[in-house]
């Protein structure tokens, strides 16, 4: 699992981006959230996730809130 920060949320479409270790932002869809609802996510929030390959490149999967 990778730790990252929620960088951007697009509420009206249900997706966003999280930071990666490589310094690039990775796309995620709300359907990949676990243990948290999309409308409770905040930009700047720490999350853990797995990186997978989607149709257009890397995607964040199995996203969970990080334990602080």
For residue range 2-47, what is the model confidence (pLDDT) as tens digits?
A: 999 999 999 999 999 999 877 889 999 999 999 899 999 999 999 9
Domain residue limits at 61: 2-65
| Rg (the chain; Cα; Å) | 11
Phi first, then psi: what are they for 20, rounded to 5°? -120, 170
CA distance 39 to 41: 6
Number of folded domains in the chain? 1
pTM beyond 0.95, yes or no: no
The partner residues of 59 in beta bridges, in order of sequence, read: 27, 52
Query: What count of residues does the chain have?
Result: 68
CA distance 13 to 30: 9
Q: What is the CATH number of the domain that holds 42?
A: 2.40.50.140
């Amino acid at each position: 699992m990778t730790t990252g920060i929620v960088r951007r949320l697009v509420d009206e479409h249900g997706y966003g981006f999280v930071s990666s270790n490589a310094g690039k932002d990775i796309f995620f869809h709300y359907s990949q959230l676990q243990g948290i609802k999309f409308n409770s996510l905040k930009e700047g929030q720490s999350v853990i996730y797995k990186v997978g390959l989607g149709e257009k490149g890397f995607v964040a999967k199995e996203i969970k809130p990080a334990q602080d």
